[in-house]
Structure 1
Amino acid sequence: MGWFTARQDDATSRAAIDRRLIRAIVRHGSPTAADQLVRAYFDDVLAFIWRMTGDRERAFDLTQEAMIAALRSLAGYDPDKASLRTWLYAIASHKVIDARRANRIVITPLPLDEACDGDDPNRARDPADVQTDVDLLARIDAFVGRFDAGTQEIFHLHTAADLTFPQIAQARGEHTEAVKARYYRLIQAIRKEFGDERTN
């Protein structure tokens, strides 16, 4: 109970800090507040995009683009719809989708466990197995890229950002059941397309 309460307190404190920084940015154009807000979330957004693209340098560029877009759109951010982190992940997802459509990047998602065996984190996996995972994930991501942007965003936010369906639904202004239905339709299509192939 104490750990849960501490996490709630941390989230409440973070939200209060975010509100103060957003107010300073939107009302006064404070570069100091903008810098603090970007620093608070840059690494998380970078990790999210890197997980989707498999390219750290490109992920860094897209994270910068996402942060610039977020600062420009900050006046329209509604904390009642989503946490700032979720809102930033949604913007980042759009940047990756746009980059793919413009053929600016080749997507090679990282396996969630690319370096270690699932049963023993101290035992290195066979590099051939890791490469097989990378190849399959790249093909799956290319397949996902054929779907509409909303479905891609739901997929990315759930798999790469580990957001819950209610969080995604709130951020998108949709019903949770509708978001879940779109996600599972996509998963069924992936299973049909790739059959018994799977990553570790």
Structure 2
Amino acid sequence: MARLFARARATSRDEALVRSLYEEHGGALLAYAVRLTGDRAAAEDVVQETLVRAWRHADKLMSGEGSVRAWLFTVAKNLIVDKVRAKAARPTEVAESPTAVPVAKDHAQRVVDSMSVLAAIEGLSEDHRKVLVEIYFRDRSVAEAAQELGIAPGTVKSRSHYALQALRTAMSGRRAALEGTA
């Protein structure tokens, strides 16, 4: 019980110390912190943290060694330096603006889709695959694809029709398998 009363007296004494420190040095400490940070809200946070540290180290302050004011200003300066260093260590944050070009958050689905299409194309017959490559990948007209492949334009149209139909069937089967419905 005696320990409890002693601790209560010490806590009361420490709180009185912090109050007196704030009354005596708070204004100058705040002005100093504002000057270093350029931001009143940040400076108020620094003053608050400085006083919390004074409360935690009340025994050092009450020992009478050194200047209390110098200790407070040193703690405040160190807190500000620590915040600046921590901010410098992090990459800079870029705020989004309404005119910013939207960036895809996740391109994983596009990669999966591309891989699925390539696998489905690989499953086509060679004749069908060649027609699709000429028309869709090399961006050739039916006549140009026919000339390149050495076949009639009607054959190119027919093969592309059946190739796309087979591709749709293969893709719907892959989608159903991925979704677990097949």
Q: Same fold (TM over 0.5)?
A: no
TM (normalized to structure 2)? 0.36
Greater share of helix residues, 1 or 2?
2
Q: Kindly indicate whether structure 1 or structure 2 has the higher relative contact order, using CA contacts under 8 Å at least 6 residues apart.
A: 1
TM (normalized to structure 1)? 0.33
Asked which structure has the greater CA Rg, the reply is: 2
